[in-house]
Protein backbone atom coordinates (compact mmCIF):
# COMPACT_ATOMS: atom_id res chain seq x y z
CA UNK A 1 0.00 0.00 0.00
CA UNK A 2 1.40 3.39 -0.85
CA UNK A 3 1.23 6.72 0.98
CA UNK A 4 -1.29 7.93 -1.58
CA UNK A 5 -3.69 5.09 -0.81
CA UNK A 6 -3.83 2.71 -3.80
CA UNK A 7 -1.97 -0.50 -4.46
CA UNK A 8 -1.73 -0.37 -8.26
CA UNK A 9 0.10 2.12 -10.42
CA UNK A 10 -2.01 5.15 -11.23
CA UNK A 11 -3.45 5.68 -14.69
CA UNK A 12 -4.44 8.89 -16.52
CA UNK A 13 -8.09 8.28 -15.57
CA UNK A 14 -7.11 8.34 -11.88
CA UNK A 15 -5.48 11.75 -12.36
CA UNK A 16 -8.52 13.03 -14.29
CA UNK A 17 -10.75 11.86 -11.43
CA UNK A 18 -8.76 14.04 -9.01
CA UNK A 19 -10.14 17.23 -10.63
CA UNK A 20 -11.37 19.53 -7.88
CA UNK A 21 -10.36 17.11 -5.12
CA UNK A 22 -7.18 16.50 -3.15
CA UNK A 23 -4.27 18.34 -4.80
CA UNK A 24 -2.31 16.27 -7.33
CA UNK A 25 1.33 15.89 -6.28
CA UNK A 26 3.81 15.75 -9.12
CA UNK A 27 7.61 15.84 -9.35
CA UNK A 28 10.08 15.16 -12.12
CA UNK A 29 12.48 12.21 -12.03
CA UNK A 30 15.22 11.18 -14.45
CA UNK A 31 16.86 8.22 -12.69
CA UNK A 32 15.85 5.02 -10.89
CA UNK A 33 16.99 6.08 -7.39
CA UNK A 34 15.08 9.36 -7.52
CA UNK A 35 12.02 7.61 -8.98
CA UNK A 36 12.09 5.18 -6.02
CA UNK A 37 12.42 8.09 -3.60
CA UNK A 38 9.44 10.08 -4.92
CA UNK A 39 7.12 7.26 -6.02
CA UNK A 40 5.03 6.71 -2.88
CA UNK A 41 4.63 10.47 -2.28
CA UNK A 42 3.54 11.42 -5.79
CA UNK A 43 0.44 10.85 -7.90
CA UNK A 44 2.31 11.59 -11.11
CA UNK A 45 6.03 11.48 -11.95
CA UNK A 46 7.18 13.38 -15.00
CA UNK A 47 10.25 12.40 -17.00
CA UNK A 48 10.66 16.01 -18.07
CA UNK A 49 12.82 17.26 -20.90
CA UNK A 50 14.24 19.53 -18.18
CA UNK A 51 16.62 16.54 -17.88
CA UNK A 52 18.66 18.24 -20.61
CA UNK A 53 19.41 21.28 -18.47
CA UNK A 54 19.40 19.58 -15.06
CA UNK A 55 21.48 16.45 -15.74
CA UNK A 56 23.18 17.09 -19.09
CA UNK A 57 24.21 20.74 -18.65
CA UNK A 58 22.43 21.91 -21.82
CA UNK A 59 21.56 25.64 -22.07
CA UNK A 60 17.88 24.89 -22.85
CA UNK A 61 15.58 21.92 -23.52
CA UNK A 62 15.96 22.29 -27.29
CA UNK A 63 18.87 19.85 -27.56
CA UNK A 64 17.07 16.98 -25.84
CA UNK A 65 16.67 13.94 -28.11
CA UNK A 66 14.28 10.99 -28.32
CA UNK A 67 17.19 8.73 -27.34
CA UNK A 68 17.78 10.73 -24.13
CA UNK A 69 14.08 10.56 -23.24
CA UNK A 70 13.93 6.80 -23.90
CA UNK A 71 17.00 6.16 -21.73
CA UNK A 72 15.80 8.28 -18.80
CA UNK A 73 12.24 6.98 -19.18
CA UNK A 74 13.43 3.39 -18.90
CA UNK A 75 15.44 4.27 -15.79
CA UNK A 76 12.50 6.01 -14.11
CA UNK A 77 10.06 3.20 -14.95
CA UNK A 78 12.26 0.77 -12.98
CA UNK A 79 11.67 2.86 -9.86
CA UNK A 80 7.90 3.39 -10.00
CA UNK A 81 5.06 1.20 -8.74
CA UNK A 82 2.55 3.82 -7.52
CA UNK A 83 2.72 7.07 -9.48
CA UNK A 84 1.65 7.52 -13.07
CA UNK A 85 4.70 8.01 -15.29
CA UNK A 86 4.34 10.75 -17.90
CA UNK A 87 7.15 11.36 -20.38
CA UNK A 88 7.91 14.56 -22.27
CA UNK A 89 8.00 14.59 -26.05
CA UNK A 90 11.23 16.41 -26.92
CA UNK A 91 11.45 19.43 -29.22
CA UNK A 92 11.09 18.44 -32.87
CA UNK A 93 9.47 15.06 -32.17
CA UNK A 94 5.80 16.07 -32.57
CA UNK A 95 5.28 19.53 -34.07
CA UNK A 96 5.54 18.57 -37.75
CA UNK A 97 2.34 16.55 -38.01
CA UNK A 98 -0.04 14.36 -35.98
CA UNK A 99 1.49 11.31 -37.72
CA UNK A 100 5.01 12.28 -36.60
CA UNK A 101 3.70 12.86 -33.08
CA UNK A 102 2.00 9.44 -33.03
CA UNK A 103 5.14 7.66 -34.26
CA UNK A 104 7.31 9.20 -31.56
CA UNK A 105 4.73 9.04 -28.75
CA UNK A 106 4.14 5.35 -29.50
CA UNK A 107 7.90 4.73 -29.37
CA UNK A 108 8.23 6.55 -26.02
CA UNK A 109 5.39 4.54 -24.51
CA UNK A 110 6.44 1.18 -25.97
CA UNK A 111 10.13 1.50 -25.07
CA UNK A 112 9.72 3.04 -21.60
CA UNK A 113 6.37 1.81 -20.27
CA UNK A 114 5.17 5.39 -19.64
CA UNK A 115 1.43 5.72 -19.12
CA UNK A 116 1.14 9.02 -20.99
CA UNK A 117 3.10 11.66 -22.90
CA UNK A 118 3.32 15.40 -22.35
CA UNK A 119 3.65 17.93 -25.14
CA UNK A 120 3.82 21.71 -25.26
CA UNK A 121 1.23 23.88 -27.00
CA UNK A 122 -2.42 24.95 -26.88
CA UNK A 123 -4.78 25.75 -29.75
CA UNK A 124 -2.18 24.91 -32.41
CA UNK A 125 -1.51 21.45 -30.91
CA UNK A 126 -5.18 20.54 -30.31
CA UNK A 127 -5.49 18.55 -33.55
CA UNK A 128 -2.39 16.53 -32.62
CA UNK A 129 -3.67 15.88 -29.10
CA UNK A 130 -7.00 14.60 -30.48
CA UNK A 131 -5.13 12.41 -32.99
CA UNK A 132 -3.00 10.81 -30.26
CA UNK A 133 -5.87 10.31 -27.80
CA UNK A 134 -8.03 8.68 -30.50
CA UNK A 135 -5.18 6.20 -31.08
CA UNK A 136 -4.65 5.18 -27.45
CA UNK A 137 -2.07 7.69 -26.26
CA UNK A 138 -3.08 9.71 -23.17
CA UNK A 139 -1.79 13.27 -23.36
CA UNK A 140 -0.90 15.81 -20.71
CA UNK A 141 -0.80 19.26 -22.30
CA UNK A 142 1.58 22.08 -21.27
CA UNK A 143 0.64 25.72 -21.83
CA UNK A 144 1.71 29.13 -20.57
CA UNK A 145 5.49 29.31 -20.57
CA UNK A 146 6.46 26.50 -22.93
CA UNK A 147 10.25 26.27 -22.65
CA UNK A 148 10.69 24.60 -26.06
CA UNK A 149 9.39 27.88 -27.57
CA UNK A 150 11.81 30.08 -25.62
CA UNK A 151 13.14 31.64 -28.82
CA UNK A 152 9.74 32.74 -30.11
CA UNK A 153 8.48 33.75 -26.66
CA UNK A 154 11.54 35.98 -26.20
CA UNK A 155 12.70 34.41 -22.94
CA UNK A 156 11.33 32.61 -19.89
CA UNK A 157 8.67 35.26 -19.17
CA UNK A 158 5.34 35.12 -17.32
CA UNK A 159 2.62 34.28 -19.87
CA UNK A 160 -1.03 35.31 -20.05
CA UNK A 161 -0.84 38.97 -19.06
CA UNK A 162 -2.64 41.64 -21.12
CA UNK A 163 -3.70 40.37 -24.55
CA UNK A 164 -2.18 37.01 -23.73
CA UNK A 165 -4.90 36.32 -21.17
CA UNK A 166 -7.65 35.44 -23.69
CA UNK A 167 -5.15 33.41 -25.75
CA UNK A 168 -4.20 31.32 -22.75
CA UNK A 169 -7.84 30.66 -21.80
CA UNK A 170 -8.44 29.56 -25.42
CA UNK A 171 -5.38 27.28 -25.21
CA UNK A 172 -6.64 25.64 -22.02
CA UNK A 173 -10.12 25.06 -23.47
CA UNK A 174 -8.67 23.72 -26.74
CA UNK A 175 -6.44 21.09 -25.10
CA UNK A 176 -9.27 20.02 -22.76
CA UNK A 177 -11.70 19.67 -25.65
CA UNK A 178 -9.07 17.77 -27.66
CA UNK A 179 -9.01 15.10 -24.94
CA UNK A 180 -5.93 15.86 -22.82
CA UNK A 181 -6.36 14.30 -19.36
CA UNK A 182 -4.59 17.19 -17.61
CA UNK A 183 -2.74 20.39 -18.40
CA UNK A 184 0.40 21.94 -16.98
CA UNK A 185 0.17 25.72 -16.46
CA UNK A 186 3.68 27.17 -16.29
CA UNK A 187 4.49 30.71 -15.14
CA UNK A 188 0.91 32.01 -15.34
CA UNK A 189 -0.55 34.74 -13.06
CA UNK A 190 -2.43 33.24 -10.12
CA UNK A 191 -5.81 34.81 -10.93
CA UNK A 192 -5.70 33.56 -14.50
CA UNK A 193 -4.69 30.06 -13.37
CA UNK A 194 -7.65 30.06 -10.96
CA UNK A 195 -9.99 31.11 -13.78
CA UNK A 196 -8.67 28.38 -16.10
CA UNK A 197 -8.94 25.80 -13.30
CA UNK A 198 -12.60 26.75 -12.82
CA UNK A 199 -13.33 26.78 -16.58
CA UNK A 200 -11.85 23.47 -17.76
CA UNK A 201 -13.00 19.98 -16.82
CA UNK A 202 -9.48 18.53 -16.66
CA UNK A 203 -7.01 18.99 -13.78
CA UNK A 204 -4.58 21.89 -13.99
CA UNK A 205 -1.11 21.19 -12.65
CA UNK A 206 0.72 24.41 -11.85
CA UNK A 207 4.35 25.40 -11.81
CA UNK A 208 4.53 29.09 -11.01
CA UNK A 209 0.72 29.34 -11.30
CA UNK A 210 -0.35 29.78 -7.67
CA UNK A 211 -2.00 27.54 -5.11
CA UNK A 212 -5.42 27.33 -6.78
CA UNK A 213 -4.48 24.76 -9.42
CA UNK A 214 -5.67 21.15 -9.08
CA UNK A 215 -2.06 20.09 -8.50
CA UNK A 216 1.54 21.22 -8.40
CA UNK A 217 4.72 20.12 -10.15
CA UNK A 218 8.35 21.01 -9.48
CA UNK A 219 11.65 19.87 -10.92
CA UNK A 220 12.94 17.49 -8.27
CA UNK A 221 16.53 18.76 -8.40
CA UNK A 222 15.23 22.31 -7.83
CA UNK A 223 13.16 21.44 -4.74
CA UNK A 224 15.95 19.29 -3.27
CA UNK A 225 18.48 22.09 -3.73
CA UNK A 226 20.62 19.91 -6.03
CA UNK A 227 20.36 22.18 -9.08
CA UNK A 228 21.76 25.55 -8.08
CA UNK A 229 22.80 27.21 -11.37
CA UNK A 230 19.73 29.46 -11.03
CA UNK A 231 16.46 29.49 -9.04
CA UNK A 232 13.20 30.58 -10.68
CA UNK A 233 10.87 32.60 -8.39
CA UNK A 234 8.35 29.72 -8.31
CA UNK A 235 10.86 27.25 -6.86
CA UNK A 236 10.91 26.55 -3.14
CA UNK A 237 13.93 24.60 -1.94
CA UNK A 238 12.59 22.03 0.51
CA UNK A 239 16.14 20.74 1.05
CA UNK A 240 19.75 21.87 0.56
CA UNK A 241 21.17 18.62 -0.76
CA UNK A 242 23.70 20.35 -2.97
CA UNK A 243 25.29 22.02 0.06
CA UNK A 244 25.26 18.74 2.01
CA UNK A 245 26.78 16.85 -0.94
CA UNK A 246 29.58 19.37 -1.39
CA UNK A 247 30.43 19.22 2.32
CA UNK A 248 30.57 15.41 2.12
CA UNK A 249 32.87 15.55 -0.93
CA UNK A 250 35.15 18.07 0.84
CA UNK A 251 35.32 15.76 3.92
CA UNK A 252 36.18 12.78 1.69
CA UNK A 253 38.94 14.72 -0.11
CA UNK A 254 40.42 15.89 3.22
CA UNK A 255 40.40 12.36 4.67
CA UNK A 256 42.03 10.86 1.56
CA UNK A 257 44.71 13.54 1.71
CA UNK A 258 45.46 13.05 5.44
CA UNK A 259 45.13 9.23 5.08
CA UNK A 260 42.40 8.94 7.74
CA UNK A 261 40.23 7.27 5.08
CA UNK A 262 40.05 4.33 4.56
CA UNK A 263 40.18 3.32 8.24
CA UNK A 264 40.64 -0.24 9.51
CA UNK A 265 36.89 -0.95 9.30
CA UNK A 266 36.91 -0.19 5.56
CA UNK A 267 39.94 -2.43 4.89
CA UNK A 268 40.49 -6.18 4.54
CA UNK A 269 42.82 -8.29 6.69
CA UNK A 270 45.40 -10.48 4.96
CA UNK A 271 44.02 -13.56 6.70
CA UNK A 272 40.46 -14.30 7.84
CA UNK A 273 40.42 -15.20 11.58
CA UNK A 274 38.94 -18.65 12.27
O1 LIG B 1 10.45 19.36 -18.33
C2 LIG B 1 9.90 19.56 -17.25
O3 LIG B 1 10.44 19.24 -16.18
C4 LIG B 1 8.58 20.18 -17.24
C5 LIG B 1 8.00 20.60 -15.93
C6 LIG B 1 8.75 21.74 -15.40
C7 LIG B 1 6.55 20.85 -16.01
O8 LIG B 1 8.00 20.35 -18.27
pLDDT in tens, 178-226: 999 999 999 999 999 999 999 999 999 999 999 999 999 999 999 999 9
Contacts of 169 by beta carbon, 8 Å cutoff, 6+ apart? 192, 195, 196, 199
Please indicate, yes or no, if residue 272 is contained in any of the structural domains.
Answer: no
Confidence (pTM): 0.95
Please indicate, yes or no, if residue 5 is contained in any of the structural domains.
Answer: no
SS percent in the chain: helix, strand, coil, step 5:
40, 15, 45
Please indicate, yes or no, if residue 1 is contained in any of the structural domains.
Answer: no
pLDDT in tens, 120-135: 999 999 999 999 999 9
Task: Pick the residue whose CA is nearest to atom 8 on ligand 1.
Answer: 48
Question: For residue 120, how far is its CA from the centre of ligand 1 (angstroms)?
Answer: 10
The answer on 229 and 116 residing in a single domain is yes
Please indicate, yes or no, if residue 273 is contained in any of the structural domains.
Answer: no
Catalytic residue check, 246:
no
Check if the beta carbon of residue 160 is closer than 8 Å to that of residue 188.
yes
Catalytic residue of the set 186, 195, 246, 255: 186
Q: How far is CA 133 from the centre of its chain?
A: 20
The annotated binding site is made up of 49-50, 88, 118, 120
pLDDT in tens, 73-86: 999 999 999 999 99
Question: For residue 50, how far is its CA from the centre of ligand 1 (angstroms)?
Answer: 6
Task: Give the whole-angstrom CA distance, residue 115 versus residue 126.
Answer: 20
The annotated binding site for Mg(2+) is made up of 49, 88, 120
Please indicate, yes or no, if residue 58 is contained in any of the structural domains.
Answer: yes
Largest CA distance in the chain: 82
> What CATH number is attached to the domain comprising 104?
3.20.20.60
The answer on 254 and 187 residing in a single domain is no
Domain that holds residue 263: 240-267
The answer on 149 and 113 residing in a single domain is yes
Amino acid sequence: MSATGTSRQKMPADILAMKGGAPIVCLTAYTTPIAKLVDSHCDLVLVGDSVGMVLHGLPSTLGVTMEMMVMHGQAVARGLSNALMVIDMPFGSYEESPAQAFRNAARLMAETGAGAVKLEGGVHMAETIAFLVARGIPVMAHIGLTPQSVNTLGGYKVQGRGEGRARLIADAKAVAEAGAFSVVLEKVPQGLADEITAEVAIPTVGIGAGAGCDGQVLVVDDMLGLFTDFKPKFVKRFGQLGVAAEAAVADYAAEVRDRSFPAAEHSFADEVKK
